[in-house]
Amino acid sequence: MTRIISYNILAGGYDLRAKDTRRTHQLTKIISSVQPDIVGLVEAVNPRLTEKPTVIEEIAETLGMQLIISREFAQRRWDYPVALLTRLPIVYTKIHSRPDLLVRPLLEVCVKEADGQQLTVFLTHLSADFNRGWAGNHIRQREVQEILRITAPIRAEGKPHVLMGDFNTLSPGDAFKANFLLRYVLGLDIEYSSGQLISGLPHLNGIVPRRLRFLKPLLRTVAKSTVLSGLFDTAAYFYAPRGPIRPLRKLYMDCFRCLHPYERGFTYPATTPAGRIDYIFACPVLADRLTNCYVITEGEGMPADRASDHLPVAAEFCTLPNP
């Protein structure tokens, strides 16, 4: 059995609202509860906090896992790199940096499973840029096309691989409780307006396009009304861009949706989940090996919303019998 987790740990695992305190203990409990073989970490390193060891180095040490970071290839000094933890032997590592096409580099790590087979993991964090409206959606579509180009050779060879991470995008047909997200962001916006900068967490100006910010008072009214919240959910369901996931679903298996066609599987925000934006996609070669996929809501008695603003996704693949 090979267990995989995809997890956005928020701002490198630091609580920037509490004087940069570490969330090592909380994150470790959530991750260790699954006893994973591979963990893909999004927002893995906070570029502003350089004191050693970092949170993910502490997690790797506690769990006895190897750590691979894409930090040296970060294209923007203030950006959060992705990283991968694994207890399996590493065959090779590649970092695909495409500054003109990918906002953040794509991390590729090939490992050897318990049965001796090789499994390649691709880890991504697509652009947010929600305040750019459909322009932000086009950026994510461009990123997906480049990722599919990078992964084309391994697909052509039929080698087992997964693509996972934070895609910042809803999947076609998935539910969306937009009023939950609205209330969450409005609550954070109070802290922003009071001068407290909460790096890594959303605020209205980061989501609402500049030309529509005159509607912010209306959004506050919507959040207070049950009727208006329902209408807001309906409108947002049809407005929310979903294009970047479509080409992925043509070539890959959405592990969660494959096993749970009618469950929501919301992953964000962790306190009041409103939508599913974190995924584990598997190539068709792995379809018969997928045995489980689920959203982790707690670990060893630790509620997952105390560890990060995202809920992690876990998938389990059975290993092949030895010939």
Using one digit for the tens of pLDDT, what is the confidence trace for 296-310?
999 999 999 999 999
Residue 193: left (phi > 0), alpha (psi -120 to 50), or beta?
alpha
Q: Is residue 146 scored above 60 in pLDDT?
A: yes
Is the pLDDT at 73 greater than 50? The verdict is no
CATH number 3.40.50.1110 is the correct assignment for the domain at 2-176+242-317: no
The pLDDT value recorded for residue 95 is 94
For 159, how many CA atoms within 13 A lie in the half-sphere containing its CB?
A: 17
Q: pLDDT tens, 187-221?
A: 887 666 555 555 667 767 666 666 666 677 888 88
Judging by DSSP bridges, how do beta strands 118-125 and 161-166 pair with one another? parallel
DSSP 266: -
Per-residue pLDDT averaged across 97-120, rounded? Answer: 93
144/135: higher pLDDT: 144
* Segment 21-27 mean pLDDT: 95
Could you tell me what percent of the chain has a pLDDT over 70?
88
CA distance 80 to 100: 18
d(CA 24, CA 126): 24
The whole-number pLDDT of residue 49 equals 81
Q: What is the pLDDT of residue 277?
A: 97
CB neighbour list of residue 214: distance below 8 Å, 6 or more residues apart: none
pLDDT score recorded for residue 130: 65
Contacts of 238 (CB under 8 A, 6+ apart): none
Query: Is the pLDDT higher at 71 or at 62?
Result: 62
First to last CA, the chain: 16
Kindly report the backbone phi and psi dihedral angles of residue 236, in degrees, each rounded to the nearest multiple of 5, phi listed first: -65, -35
DSSP collapsed to 3 states, 79-106: CCCCEEEECCCEEEEEEECCCCCCCCCE
Segments making up each domain of the chain, as ranges: 2-176+242-317, 178-239
State the Cα–Cα distance between residues 178 and 230, nearest whole angstrom: 9
pLDDT tens digits, one per residue of 166-175: 999 999 999 9
pLDDT tier for residue 74 given thresholds of 50, 70 and 90: very low
pLDDT at 90: 97
